[in-house]
Structure 1
Amino acid sequence: MAMSSSLARLCRLTSRSASTALGYSRGKPLISRRWYISSSVRNNLQFKLDEQTAHSSLDLFKKDTGVIYRILGLDPTLVQDSPLRFREWAVVLADAQIDSGRHYWEVTVQNSSEFRVGVADVQTSRDECVGTNSTSWVFAYTQRKWFAMTSGKQVPVPFVGKSDQIGLLLDYEAGQLSLVDTQKSEVVHTIKTQFRSPISPAFALWDGELLTHSGLEIPPGL
């Protein structure tokens, strides 16, 4: 399916072609490895957002668990230069790396019509948007519709639940990332892939604000 005009506007496809429909390949590392908080030893994953990765249009708040989009962006003199920072797109990663286990977290979104939530390789390109390459796997919300995205491919997700509060269930070994309806505690859609290196929760936002809720137990039945 071709990418919608709105999605194309937000995240242009790179010149490199995608080799799979839903992300079974992995690109080469593009930046040097950094230290993250290792949180994979137990299922109740705890994380904050990593300011060093945040695009200059994103402002972290509530002890770095939330992010708000600023149309004019932050004052460049107040943003520390970092090779880990996303340069082209309004993306931020969490400060935890995941290399095993099953984990669950939730996201509350306010006043936003376009955003993405999911995971990305900790070394994913800082010049590309999450969902456009083979090292990121996300659920995108735009034009009141949901899509599963990776490698620039999108799959419609028939989700009629509340778009402002959703859950993410990750099974690293099984290579599965699921969108969860928090009202019904049910899996809505699952992206299947093969994780080959440590990944981190990833978020993209083009209006409004987003608040993360980590350290949660996996709901019964999921």
Structure 2
Amino acid sequence: MNTCRTLLPLAVDENLQFRLDERSAHSSLDLFKKDTGIIYRMLGLDPTQVQDNPERFREWAVVLGDARIDSGRHYWEVTVKKSQEFRVGVAEALMCRDECVGTSSSSWVFGFAQRKWFAMTKGKVVPVTLVGKPDRVGILLDYEAGLLALVDTEKPRIIHALNAQFTSPLCPAFGLWDGELLTHSGLEEPEGLK
């Protein structure tokens, strides 16, 4: 049996709405606020006490959103003010659950660690110049254009963009190593980004 494959429902709404998928959540992550937020627990649950599920991330504190995206332009935001180490972006729905988001060719993320922003895919880290750390950031995905962008929600403007050729369905993806993140979906794309 291949434990690196999973299927999630297709996103059908114009403004992408999703919740975090408990089935994919690493044992050190707890979901809250009707599965729109995640909290990192240093010790977490004993992996033997968590329901065995081939969709669950085993090695890394990662969780995916429950929407599967295979077309269109989508926007969501993440409140990041209560974390100092995280990754936000997208991953292929069939991403291997033994990998971390950003380390393989099946995920594209923006991260924050050691008080610095970076973009990451295939394990390659590119510094992102950003003054300070906002309380909330936006993620813009244009599937056909092969664009994933980190958005300043206050201006709004694109801070940094990753270009890729997306060839299979994607899910919102989150890695968390301290504090908490809160997702906000079903949002209109801000004017000025189009």
Provide the TM-score with structure 1 as the length reference. Answer: 0.83
Q: 2:137 corresponds to which residue? A: 166
Q: 2:156 corresponds to which residue? A: 185
Are the structure 2 counterparts of residues 166 and 49 from structure 1 closer, same or farther at C-alpha, using a change threshold of 3 Å? same
Aligned pairs, how many?
Answer: 192
Q: Which residues of structure 2 form unaligned runs of 5+?
A: none
Could you tell me how far 1:40 is from its partner in structure 2? Answer: 4.4
CA–CA separation in structure 2 for the residues paired with 1:32 and 1:109: 29
Could you tell me how far 1:49 is from its partner in structure 2? Answer: 0.1
Q: Which residues of structure 1 form unaligned runs of 5+?
A: 1-28
Q: CA contact under 8 A between 2:39 and 2:181: conserved in structure 1?
A: yes
Q: Which AA in structure 2 matches 1:211? A: L
Are the structure 2 counterparts of residues 189 and 173 from structure 1 closer, same or farther at C-alpha, using a change threshold of 3 Å? same
Q: CA contact under 8 A between 1:179 and 1:187: conserved in structure 2?
A: yes
CA–CA separation in structure 2 for the residues paired with 1:32 and 1:117: 21
**SS of corresponding position for 1:38:** coil
CA–CA separation in structure 1 for the residues paired with 2:12 and 2:71: 6
1:39 pairs with 2:11: yes
Q: Which AA in structure 2 matches 1:204? A: G
> Which ranges of 4 or more aligned residues in structure 1 deviate by more than 3 Å?
75-78
Q: CA contact under 8 A between 2:31 and 2:38: conserved in structure 1?
A: yes
Alignment of 1:1-222 (within 5 A): 31-34=4-7, 36-42=8-14, 44-76=15-47, 78-160=49-131, 162-222=133-193
CA–CA separation in structure 2 for the residues paired with 1:163 and 1:61: 22
Provide the TM-score with structure 2 as the length reference. Answer: 0.94
